Structure 1
Amino acid sequence: MVGRVGGPVCVTGGTGFIGSSMVVRLLEDYSVRTTFVVLSGYSKRDTSYLTNLPGETERLEIFYNADLDHPETFRPAIEGCVCVYHVAHPVDVSTNLKDGVDVPMETITQTSLGGMLGILKISVESKTVKRVVCTSAMGTTMFNWKTT
């Protein structure tokens, strides 16, 4: 897959609001690879809002089961790309649940940091990625009203 302008790009976290918006926009000029995570207990997410886009069959590849706890799962989506937009983040803004269990903030932070470092490492090892753009999660700016 070669984009119309400069080669394929990767967007991690393509089911999120920002990630899916980026995929839609980037498909206008590039071939796009995007990653989705499928949590246990959930069926595969509906991706028709992306797979029904004009030109999608020629320029969009979706990689399921990318997991920030296991950054190597991003390698197939990243290798061969010229740019990586790292938008995936392990925090659900409504809850800190994973598989129905409350996740401590330090675990979320470690997953986020480890995932980002893994994606950076894979990007360097690819020898094709020229730029990595990392975003933050809303959770980093939210105020905790609880006092301890």
Structure 2
Amino acid sequence: MEEGKGLVYVTGGTGFVASWLIMRLLEHGYTVRTTIRSSPGISKDISYLTNLPRAAEKLQVFNADFDDPDSFNEAIGGCMGVFHLAFPLDFAEREPEEVITKRAVDGTLGVLRACVNAKTVKRVVCASSQATVIYGGDGDEKVVDESSWTNIDYYRSLNRFGTSYLVAKNKTERAALDFAEQYLCS
């Protein structure tokens, strides 16, 4: 199954962006592995993935969950590239911010550890969000870059919808950058 341009992995295969990326990767000759979150007793219709052109020969679907950071190991093993697009969303804010943040950070670090352990991954792409850079709290409109970060305390003071997502996304991206600095950039 690894013939063609190579074997790549996409987290969160049932997501909008991930499913389009999977389609494009298949079109360009890649063999693609993806993961979906398994829910006991609930069957997901993923026919929009499995019915893609070339999917029968070049798409493998695994189960993984951010609550089990080691669940990404099997899917990533042997891959040359990883696109980390999944993120545990809870816009309804049913869970405390700390729980969502821990799940997001631990899951992302699990993906990154699996990349290092695989010893075959040459490139990792992590999806970002404007939420990580847009609210500086200084009132000035400015161009943002990799040194710009949302001021979490400022955003919390606005008492807006989606605070737990913004906080979790910020802390997750910072943890991923720290991990990369320590393990991948040396």
Structure with greater proportional strand content: 1
Tell me the alpha carbon deviations over residues 96-118 of structure 1, each in whole angstroms, 9 at most, x when there is no partner. 3xxxxx21112111111111111
Runs of 4+ in 1 over 3 A off after TM superposition: 136-145
Superposed CA deviations along residues 8-63 of structure 1, whole A, max 9, x for unmatched, are 1000000011111111111112000000002346x221111111112111100001
Identity %: 47
Q: Is 1:146 aligned to residue 159 of structure 2?
A: yes
TM-score, normalised relative to structure 2: 0.67
Provide the C-alpha distance between the structure 1 equivalents of 2:83 and 2:102, rounded to a whole number of angstroms. Answer: 20
Point out the structure with the larger helix share.
2
Q: Which residue of 2 aligns with 1:86?
A: 84
CA RMSD of aligned residues (A): 2.1
Q: Which stretch has the larger CA shift, 84-93 or 16-25?
A: 84-93
Which residue in 2 is equivalent to 1:44? 43
| SS of aligned partner of 1:112 | helix
TM-score by length of 1: 0.83
Match of 1:124 in 2: 116
Could you tell me which runs of 5 or more consecutive residues in structure 1 were left unpaired when the two chains were aligned. 97-101
Mapped to 2, the partners of 1:68 and 1:138 lie a distance apart of 22
Aligned length: 138
Shift of 1:3: 4.3
Secondary structure of the corresponding residue to residue 88 of structure 2: coil
Is 47-56 or 128-137 further displaced after alignment?
128-137
Alignment-derived partner of residue 99 in structure 1: none
CA distance in 2, matches of 1:73, 1:106: 21
Residue in 2 aligned with 1:71?
69
